[in-house]
Amino acid sequence: MRARAPMALLCIGGLAGCERVRHGVQSALDPAGHQAGRIADLWWLFLAVLAAVYALVLILLLVAAFRPRRRGRVPVGSAFPQEAPTERRLTRVLVAWAVGTTAIILTLTGFSYAVDRDILSLGHRAELTVEITAKQWWWQVKYDDPVPNRSFETANEIRLPVGVPVRVILKAQDVIHSFWVPNLHGKTDLIPGRVNETVIVANREGRFRGQCAEFCGFQHANMALDVVAVPRAEFDAWRESQLAPAVAPSDEQSQEGQRVFLTSACVMCHTIRGTTAASRVGPDLTHIATRPSLAAGTLPYSKGNLAGWIADPQRIKPGSQMPVTGLSADQLQSVLAYLDGLK
């Protein structure tokens, strides 16, 4: 009765998965958006139909293997003779089986097409446009606006107003990456030399996690992004705050930190709007202290984690483009004070 094992596994696996299937910040089965919801429904439908088919096959297999048979020895080295009526009966069942398979396949394909159409129709209603450029190994995020000086850049974080479809333009600078926020929608690749597009919408408030889903090299594992869905008013306020240039450092240590930042290796790669730092190799740091995480979702944001990241990025994310800067302890402290003030 070996065939029981996978059924038992199915149950155990199902139970083990249940809790986190219902509540996950990176789960395709805990949808928080229109498309993810439709896809999850479709998946459950497929699961129900296909599980029934699987159960049928297992039952047939068990019966075929262990059904009681008329006594009668078949000598080794010869076959049980075929009987014409049995062959005819089995052939009829085979035809029915093939017709049944075809019917199931056609039905599922029809549902799949319908959901696909529905998902794509959302694109016409997009109100906001976000342009994402994937780089080894972080996400550059640009909020577009018809008025040029109302566009701004951030990194590794998307905020979006609840209920508003957002058009996401997807580009890659180096290798192929894939943009995937399972709670909102399926993935779309970002491919050098091409521009892809997807639409996401959040139906409820919440924080979700996205992760690069196409192998992109050394730190593919640590290329995540935070997606925060907030009410429209809160989103508008956040947008205004992100549009503003960096706050000027107020205390002495922060001022020293800004001076260190602008005169050391940091300035070679990063932008802080409102200062002379304007390089676009690494993430824009204008409002770094407002972000939920550091180094593309590698660490949660805190002053301590920021210190660790600046002091030894190659230990935390080996292979990352962020070099060891060789700041002294005092310089590090002052840079920290400065960056932590960039709300």
Partner 1 sequence: MSARDTSARDSARFIRRDGPALGEAETHARLERTWATPPGLWGWLSSVDHKQVGRRYIVTAFVFFLLAGLLALAMRMQLAGPNQTLLTPDRYNQIFTMHGTTMMFLFAVPVMEAFAIYLVPLMVGTRAIAFPRLNAFSYWVYLAGGVMLWVAFILNVGPDVGWFSYVPLAGPQFGPGKRTDFWAQMVTFTEVAALAVAVEIIVTVLKQRAPGMSLNRIPLFVWGQLVTSSMVVFAMPAVMVSSSMLIMDRLIGTHFFNPAEGGDALLWQHLFWFFGHPEVYIIFLPATGFVSSILPVFARRPIFGYTALVLALFATGFLGFGLWVHHMFVTGLPHLGNSFYTAASMAIAIPSGIQIFCWLATLWDGRPRFATPLLFIIGFIVIFVLGGLSGIMLASVPIDSQVHDTYFVVAHFHYVLIGGAVFPLFGAVYYWFPKFTGRMLSERAGAWNFALFFVGFNLAFFPMHILGLIGMPRRIYSYPAGLGWDDLNLLATAGALILAAGVLVFLGNVWHSLKYGLVAGDNPWGAGTLEWATSSPPPSVNFVHIPVVTGREPLWEEPNGLAAVSGLRVDQRELLLTTVVDAEPDVREPSPMPSIWPLLSAIAVTVLFIGSIFTPWAVVWGSIPLAVGLIGWFWPKSPPDTPEPVVE
Shortest Cβ 84–partner 1 spacing (Å): 12
In whole angstroms, give the CA distance from residue 285 to residue 262. Answer: 13
Shortest Cβ 317–partner 1 spacing (Å): 9
Contacting partner 1 within 259-318 (CB under 8 A): 318
Residue 169 touches partner 1, criterion: CB under 8 A: no
Contacting partner 1 within 66-105 (CB under 8 A): 67, 69, 72, 74-82, 86-87, 90-91, 93-94, 97-98, 101-102, 105
Stretch that binds partner 1, among 110-118, 156-164, 230-238, 240-248 (CB under 8 A): 110-118
Contacting partner 1 within 185-224 (CB under 8 A): 185-189, 191-194, 196-197, 209, 211-222
Q: Check if the beta carbon of residue 202 is closer than 8 Å to that of residue 32.
A: yes
Contacting partner 1 within 113-132 (CB under 8 A): 113, 115-116, 119-120
The dihedral through the CA atoms of 284, 288, 293, 298 has a sign that is positive
Contacts of 140 (CB under 8 A, 6+ apart): 132, 133, 134, 153, 155, 283, 284
- The tokens describing 214, both together, are 């196409």
Q: Which of 160, 182, 206, 201 is closest to 34 using CA atoms?
A: 201
Shortest Cβ 82–partner 1 spacing (Å): 6
Shortest Cβ 112–partner 1 spacing (Å): 4
Count of residues that bind partner 1 according to CB under 8 A: 101
Stretch that binds partner 1, among 2-10, 156-164, 232-240, 247-255 (CB under 8 A): 2-10
Q: Which of 34, 6, 29, 9 is closest to 18 using CA atoms?
A: 29
The residue (of 191 and 269) whose beta carbon lies closer to partner 1 is 191
Residue 64 touches partner 1, criterion: CB under 8 A: yes
The residue (of 133 and 334) whose beta carbon lies closer to partner 1 is 133
Shortest Cβ 286–partner 1 spacing (Å): 26
In whole angstroms, give the CA distance from residue 171 to residue 196. Answer: 7
The residue (of 94 and 244) whose beta carbon lies closer to partner 1 is 94
Shortest Cβ 257–partner 1 spacing (Å): 29
Shortest Cβ 244–partner 1 spacing (Å): 32
Phi-psi region of 274 (alpha: psi -120 to 50; beta: other; left: phi over 0): left
Among 127, 150, 174, 237, binds partner 1 (CB under 8 A): 174
The residue (of 11 and 237) whose beta carbon lies closer to partner 1 is 11
Examine residue 309 and say whether the peptide bond preceding it is cis (omega within 30 degrees of 0): no
In whole angstroms, give the CA distance from residue 177 to residue 170. Answer: 10
Partners of 258 in the beta sheet? Answer: none
Altogether, the residues listed in the chain come to a count of 343
- The tokens describing 200, both together, are 């996401």
Phi-psi region of 129 (alpha: psi -120 to 50; beta: other; left: phi over 0): beta
Residue 60 touches partner 1, criterion: CB under 8 A: yes
Q: Which residue has the tokens 């097409």?
A: 113
For residues 307 to 326, the per-residue mask of contacts with partner 1, x marking binding by CB under 8 A and - elsewhere, is -----------xx-------
* Per-residue 3-state assignment (H helix, E strand, C coil) for 278-293: ECCCCCCCCCHHHCCE
